Structure formats: structure tokens, C-alpha cells
């Protein structure tokens, strides 16, 4: 029986960079949602279908024996499926799974965590297709780290899985990565610590997302920052980020917009200090928000992508949104969205893709 899944994107409210160095990130799950559809097969064949094409191969205990070198567009999904088979040590059963494309603007990614969302959907699709029982979140965190050479915080993965607004500390996947390469992944997974993830209350103020106009490379920005800043400097950054993040959370939950303004400004100033995150498009968005009595900050590594904006009330939100759209800036209202879930209705487009196999 087919199963349709969906997962949200993410926006960092606080903790960019700091979460890589032991700090706390506060992350908001947001729409638009992306869907996947998985269909069991009677054989060992695994099919992955994207808008870019198809990738297939037989399942083995070491992963899928893909019929060709895995294209870049399939990297995160294929890694996740391979790890699910390695975790279970099974040769199947097979399954086919189709993934909806993440939303873009003029072909540019918005910075809402498309790769994280892909691994969460792939991990759950594989769990269903293989008739397996495992921790979808941990497997997703492992797969995301593995596909990025051990890099990244996993915060976007946690938000896509859990939904709502979460507090998150980086999950150390090093032992799982080692076990995945040398064997013993199942035991390592069973013995691994819990993910440091907790739900935060929902913000009381209306929010917006605004796109800077171009996408950024998180990997390149993080590499540059970590090259420039030594351990003591990183610790001081984490302390300041955690304090401002707590102030932001308090303001968002207790209807204290002044605290939200001060925390947003402080967090953004802190991120500007890194020297690589400043971007003309982000500057424009944030200056416009202030002009209309709102607050905001970059969401994510900076250097592009987008900003999360906070309005004191619904009228200010509408006025700011109109102003952004009138200037040709891609923007939309946001609110906390549900995490990974199954859907009652079959996705017609993805179903048609699988029917065509």
C-alpha cells in the first residue's frame, strides 16, 4: 500500500554558528511542506524518483547497489537509504519512493533546509518500505552528517522531524559514522545517547520570511569562519549567542516586543561580527523591517538566503509584507508547522511518477 509523507522546512531563530560549537539553537519549522510517496515492491529493487530522473538498484545488506554513480541531486536521499539497509543488515524488501522538489524562486533555493527535509522523508520512507523499526530522527541526523562529510549541526533535520519550535544542541554523530563505515551500526545506534531536543512554546508575534535574492553556500561560510576563529573566540561567541537567544525566546513567549527587537538586533550584530555573513539583500530586508516598526535577523549562515521578521501585530505584518512585495522581494507570512507526518491522501503527481516506472 502506498504511503504519502510530508515534512516542513526550517528557519533558525537563534544559534547560527553557535550550535556548531556547543551552543543552543532555536529553530522554527515552517511551510511550504514537501511530500514523498513510498510504494512497497515484491522484489529487492529500490527505485528513487525525483524531478531530475530516476536512480535504481538492488538492495543489499551494505546498501543499494546503485546501477550508476549517484548524481548530486540524489546524494542525500541515496545516502539515507543506504544507511537504513546497513542498519538493518537486510537484502530488502524493495520499494519505490518519489520525492517532490523543494520550492525555489527563479531557480534559487530559499535556504529552508531542502537537504535536511529530504533525509527525514527518505529515512521514514525507507522505514516503511523495509517494514523496519528504528529511530528515524537519529538515522536522519546520521545520514545528513554522512552526506556532508561529517559537517553540519543537524538543527534543520531536528526541526523538520519534530515540527513547531525546538531548542536543539548539536548531536555528535561521530561514533555512528564510524560504525556505519566499519560495521556494528545497529549496536552503535542502540547505545547512542538521546538527541538533545526540546519543544519551545509558539511565538505570540506574527512573523514573515523574506528572501535576500540569492542563495548562499552554508558549507563555504562555515569553513571560512572556523578557519578565522580559535576556540576561545568561539566560546565567547557561544555565550553571547545563548544569552541573546534566551532573551529572544522570552520576548516571543511573553509578548515583550521590545525584548524581541533588542535580541534580534543583538543576534544580528553578533553574526555580522563573523565577517562573512553580511549581504546586501539581507541588509535591505532588515532595514525595511525596522522602517515599518518590525524586527528581524538573518536565518541561517547568512551571505544570502533569507531573514525571519517579527511584527508587533497583524496590521504591521500585513503592511511590511505589502512593502516587501511591492519592492520585488519574495516574502510570505510564516507560523510554526507540524513535523514529519503521514498524509491521508495519496499525492497524485508522485503517484503518477511511480506508476510510470
Band (pLDDT 50/70/90 cuts) for residue 311 is very high
Q: Tell me the C-alpha distance between 177 and 157, whole Å.
A: 16
**Half-sphere exposure of residue 329, counting CA atoms within 13 Å on the CB side?**
26
Band (pLDDT 50/70/90 cuts) for residue 319 is very high
Band (pLDDT 50/70/90 cuts) for residue 324 is very high
- Cα–Cα separations (whole angstroms), residue 298 to 117, 281, 287, 308: 20, 10, 12, 6
| pLDDT confidence of residue 104 | 85
Band (pLDDT 50/70/90 cuts) for residue 303 is confident
Q: Tell me the C-alpha distance between 36 and 97, whole Å.
A: 7
Report the pLDDT averaged over residues 294-311. Answer: 94
| pLDDT confidence of residue 112 | 87
Say if residue 219's pLDDT is above 90.
no
| pLDDT confidence of residue 172 | 94
Output Rg (C-alpha) for the chain, integer angstroms. 20
Share of the chain above pLDDT 70, in %: 100
Say if residue 356's pLDDT is above 90.
yes
- The tens digit of pLDDT for each residue in 191-203 reads 999 999 999 999 9
Band (pLDDT 50/70/90 cuts) for residue 103 is confident
Domain ranges in the chain are 3-200+338-355, 207-334
Report the pLDDT averaged over residues 3-22. Answer: 97
- Cα–Cα separations (whole angstroms), residue 99 to 37, 61, 266: 7, 24, 39
- The tens digit of pLDDT for each residue in 136-180 reads 999 999 999 999 988 889 999 999 999 999 999 999 999 999 999
CATH number of the domain located at residue range(s) 207-334 in this protein: 3.30.70.890
Mean pLDDT of the chain: 95
Nearest to 197 by CA among 257, 157, 251, 146: 157
- The tens digit of pLDDT for each residue in 221-275 reads 888 998 989 999 999 999 999 999 999 999 999 999 999 999 999 999 999 999 8
| pLDDT confidence of residue 108 | 81
List, in order, residues 6 or more apart from 184 with CB less than 8 Å away. Answer: none
Asked whether 127 and 304 are in contact (CB, 8 A), the reply is no
Q: Tell me the C-alpha distance between 147 and 323, whole Å.
A: 39
Listing DSSP states for 166-220 in one string gives: EEE-----HHHHHHHHHS-HHHHHHHSPPP-EEEEPPPSS-EEEEE-SS---HHH
Q: What is the DSSP letter of 104?
A: E
Band (pLDDT 50/70/90 cuts) for residue 56 is very high
Q: What are 98's three cell numbers?
A: 518519489
User: What fold, for 3-200+338-355?
Assistant: Ribosomal Protein S5; domain 2 (3.30.230)
Nearest to 116 by CA among 55, 225, 34: 34
Q: Tell me the C-alpha distance between 61 and 353, whole Å.
A: 27
- Report phi then psi at 343, rounded to 5: -110, 145
Can you point out the beta strands (E) in 51-159?
53-60, 63-64, 95-99, 104-105, 108-109
Q: What are 73's three cell numbers?
A: 541531486
Q: Tell me the C-alpha distance between 22 and 169, whole Å.
A: 7
Q: What is the DSSP letter of 21?
A: G
Asked whether 204 and 255 are in contact (CB, 8 A), the reply is yes
Residue 264 is inside which H or E element, if any? helix 257-272
Amino acid at each position: 500500500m502506498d504511503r504519502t509523507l510530508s515534512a516542513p522546512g526550517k528557519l533558525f531563530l537563534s544559534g547560527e554558528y553557535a550550535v556548531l560549537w556547543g551552543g543552543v539553537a532555536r529553530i522554527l519549522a515552517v511551510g511550504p511542506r514537501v511530500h514523498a510517496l513510498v510504494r512497497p515492491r515484491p522484489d529487492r529493487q529500490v527505485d528513487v524518483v525525483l524531478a531530475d530522473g530516476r536512480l535504481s538498484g538492488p538492495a543489499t545488506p551494505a546498501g543499494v547497489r546503485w546501477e550508476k554513480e549517484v548524481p548530486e541531486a540524489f546524494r542525500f536521499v541515496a545516502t539515507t537509504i543506504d544507511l537504513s539497509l546497513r542498519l538493518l543488515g537486510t537484502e530488502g524488501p524493495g520499494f519505490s519512493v518519489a520525492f517532490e522538489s523543494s520550492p525555489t524562486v527563479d531557480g534559487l533555493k530559499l535556504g529552508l533546509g531542502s537537504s535536511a527535509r529530504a533525509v527525514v522523508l527518505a529515512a521514514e520512507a525507507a522505514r516503511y518500505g523495509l517494514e523496519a523499526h528504528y529511530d528515524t530522527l537519529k538515522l536522519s541526523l546520521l545520514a545528513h552528517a554522512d552526506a556532508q562529510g561529517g559537517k553540519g549541526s543537524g538543527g534543520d533535520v531536528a526541526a523538520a522531524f519534530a515540527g513547531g519550535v525546538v531548542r536543539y544542541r548539536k548531536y555528535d554523530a561521530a561514533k555512528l559514522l564510524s560504525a556505519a563505515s566499519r560495521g556494528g551500526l545497529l549496536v552503535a545506534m542502540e547505545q547512542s545517547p538521546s538527541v538533545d531536543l526540546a519543544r519551545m512554546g509558539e511565538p505570540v508575534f506574527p512573523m514573515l520570511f523574506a528572501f535576500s535574492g540569492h542563495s548562499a553556500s552554508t558549507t563555504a561560510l562555515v569553513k571560512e569562519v572556523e578557519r578565522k576563529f580559535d576556540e576561545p573566540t568561539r566560546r565567547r561567541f557561544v555565550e553571547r549567542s545563548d544569552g541573546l537567544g534566551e532573551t529572544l525566546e522570552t520576548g516571543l513567549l511573553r509578548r515583550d516586543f521590545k525584548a524581541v527587537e533588542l535580541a534580534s538586533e543583538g543576534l544580528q550584530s553578533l553574526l555580522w561580527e563573523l565577517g562573512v555573513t553580511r549581504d546586501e539583500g539581507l541588509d535591505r530586508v532588515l532595514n525595511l523591517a525596522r522602517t515599518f516598526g518590525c524586527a528581524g535577523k538573518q536565518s541561517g549562515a547568512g551571505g544570502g538566503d533569507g531573514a525571519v521578521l517579527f511584527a508587533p501585530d497583524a496590521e504591521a505584518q500585513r503592511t511590511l509584507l505589502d512593502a516587501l512585495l511591492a519592492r520585488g522581494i519574495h516574502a510570505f507570512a510564516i507560523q510554526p508547522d507540524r513535523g514529519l507526518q503521514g498524509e491521508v491522501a495519496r499525492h497524485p503527481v508522485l503517484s503518477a511518477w511511480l506508476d510510470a516506472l
